[in-house]
Structure 1
Amino acid sequence: MPLLKRLAALTLLGFAGLASAQAVLKVSAIPDESPTELQRKFAPLGNYLEKETGMKVKFVPVTDYAAVVEALATGKIDMAWLGGFTYVQSKIRTKGATIPIVQRQEDAAFTSKFITADSAIKSLADLKGHTFVFGAPSSTSGHLMPRHFLLQAGIDPDKDFKTLAYSGAHDATVAFVQAGRADAGVLNASVWDKLVEQRKVDPAKVRVFAVTPPYYDYNWTVRGGLDPALRKKLTEAFLRLDPANPEQREIMALQRTARYIPTRPENYDGIEAAARAAGLIR
């Protein structure tokens, strides 16, 4: 084969390889629950997004919250399920390049629940001198916002608790309290409700004794530089999801929502302000 034809063939192969790489949508999520639960929740949604985009969708598990932020910043993943705080971290890390596209309607007024198995704990004030467990350090609903509201209530977690631990995930927080490894803890309301429904926690033994005021939380965020047409297609796909559609009912049930709504960066300004006030970002 003449040199020019060989070069042309190699060029075409190169473009084909590039097209093949771009035909895969890499998606991840903050590890706020066990890896098996995250995979179970995502599988039907991933299949739906494949049909809607015409792309292969690959779920990329990560070890911790920081890894999701870094993967978005470096283009190793295209889209991620983030908490409000991890979105803020990604915005700062990428100088505003990451874009939140949708959130569940529940995430516009999300809450955290404080739980205990200790009959002596009936209010936030009763937590002083007790052992306590948060979720992951970068969790919005398992750490940042509960810490923010504790501080507003005059309780400094770093000074007023006998010991302070981080479980790493919401379901792990419940396990800590249920096993007596901590007198009390806090987790997001959605996971608590799910664990009660699945009978993985006995609310007669482990009870909710306080609930935070509402705040913005979870969202689906895309990386900077993602094709705007693909971003639009993904946004519209989420907004079309309808639990009245039999084929989409399981997706919505696993995502614990009745519908997705658009979101925007400004929704998380309160999260950023709380994080700066708590000294978690500077």
Structure 2
Amino acid sequence: MKKLLGGTLAAAAAMTLVACGTDNNSEVNELGAETAEASNGSEDRSDWPEEFIFGLLPVEDQAELTNRYEPMIEYLEDYLDVDVTLYNATNYTALIEAMANGHLHASTFGPFSYLVAAERANGEPFAIPVSEEGGTEDDIYYTAQMITLDEHGIDSLEDIEGRSLAYADPASTSGHLFPKAMLINEIGLTMDNVDQFPSDVVFSGSHEASLYSVLNGDVEAAGVCSTCIERVFDRVNDHENFDQLNIFHESEPIPGGPYVIQGDLPQSFKDAVQQAFLDMSEDEKGREFLEESGYLGGYFQVDPAVYQVVQDTAEALNLSPEELLE
């Protein structure tokens, strides 16, 4: 299992690569316009919206978020030849309701919130970002990991019995829901007794906080997101207990959160939006946004079928996607 940790560290190092390119911006914009027209299948754009409204969660300072997305807005406006407006919301539920009511055309979503968007707002996944430069469709996945220190002698999920366990946040896919589902599916627990299996269950508030809780000896095990802790390894690898850190169990691959578009929009417009994201790495402004956002591999097309594992996990927890969001 130490090899798993080594592989994770290698992946973290790979994520520091910076995308590059010298394509002429005007030529790419012309290509984008041609591609959008080809996707349209004709010159008639009369049924297209006058502006493209794209939703975001305020996961950081709103001004900083707007600045980071400005190159993407400029790129999309050139590519689609329509105005682009950002729609800031306080949570995924607000984004879903806005999409269902026609106030929002597309947005970023998490794996579970996408299921709700598909159900309530006829949302369709059209693209997904990849962090690693030169990445493939396989890189859209991450995992939920169970971590501990060697000194605790925890080698399997069964060994969690009677031990202290940290989750990140109640709504976290890989920091709570998937780890809990692993306990239910793989060792036969139920929703009635899964929280009593450890001696103590705490919510740390974040994946990084869970990692520190294990390193500092505050808990004996924790469920964390593989990519989330990769990002902080450079800050914790000098911790006195870092060499003891062990990944003792890992979930099946989890697809990352997709970009979702409202399904009732004209097909030609949906095709053009999807192609704009798939072509983003070929444009100067597009690359600027991708680099600042850490999406060094650009975007890939995503099949709704890959989210069946998320649906199965919701069913294992005996909770609807709406309840999971709450």
TM-score, with length taken from structure 1: 0.72
Say if 2:170 is the partner of 1:137: yes
CA distance in 1, matches of 2:269, 2:301: 16
Residues 179 and 80 from structure 1, CA distance in 2 versus in 1: closer, same or farther, beyond 3 angstroms? farther
| Structure 1: stretches of 5+ with no match in the other structure | 1-20
Q: Give yes or no for contact 2:150–2:246 (8 Å, CA) kept in 1.
A: no
CA distance in 2, matches of 1:183, 1:191: 19
Match of 1:99 among 103, 124, 130: 124
Residue 84 of structure 1 and its aligned partner are, at CA, apart by: 1.9
- SS of the residue corresponding to residue 153 of structure 1 reads helix
CA distance in 1, matches of 2:284, 2:154: 43
Q: Which amino acid is the alignment partner of residue 81 of structure 1?
A: T
Say if 2:252 is the partner of 1:213: yes
Q: How does 1:36-75 map to 2 (within 5 A)?
A: 36=61, 39=65, 42=69, 44-53=71-80, 54-62=82-90, 64-75=91-102
Residue 55 of structure 1 and its aligned partner are, at CA, apart by: 1.9
Q: CA RMSD in A?
A: 3.5
The match for 1:159 is 196
CA distance in 1, matches of 2:267, 2:216: 48
Residue 221 of structure 1 and its aligned partner are, at CA, apart by: 0.8
Q: Which amino acid is the alignment partner of residue 276 of structure 1?
A: E
The match for 2:236 is 201
Match of 1:89 among 113, 116, 137: 116
Residue 257 of structure 1 and its aligned partner are, at CA, apart by: 4.5
CA distance in 2, matches of 1:139, 1:46: 29
- SS of the residue corresponding to residue 103 of structure 1 reads strand
The match for 1:184 is 221
Q: Give yes or no for contact 2:149–2:246 (8 Å, CA) kept in 1.
A: no
| Structure 2: stretches of 5+ with no match in the other structure | 1-48, 130-136, 322-326
Residues 240 and 27 from structure 1, CA distance in 2 versus in 1: closer, same or farther, beyond 3 angstroms? same
Match of 1:35 among 28, 37, 60: 60
CA distance in 2, matches of 1:45, 1:272: 31
Q: Give yes or no for contact 1:86–1:140 (8 Å, CA) kept in 2.
A: no
Residue 237 of structure 1 and its aligned partner are, at CA, apart by: 1.3
The match for 2:289 is 251
Residue 236 of structure 1 and its aligned partner are, at CA, apart by: 0.5
Give the share of equivalent positions with the same residue, in percent.
22
Once the two structures are superposed, what CA deviation does each residue of 1:110-150 show, in whole Å capped at 9, x if it has no partner? 21233346731543333322333333434332333222223
Match of 1:78 among 105, 113, 137: 105
Residues 234 and 149 from structure 1, CA distance in 2 versus in 1: closer, same or farther, beyond 3 angstroms? same
Q: Which amino acid is the alignment partner of residue 202 of structure 1?
A: N
Residue 90 of structure 1 and its aligned partner are, at CA, apart by: 2.0
Residues 144 and 68 from structure 1, CA distance in 2 versus in 1: closer, same or farther, beyond 3 angstroms? farther
The match for 1:146 is 179
CA distance in 2, matches of 1:121, 1:133: 17
With a CA cutoff of 8 Å and minimum separation of 6, indicate the structure with the bigger relative contact order: 2
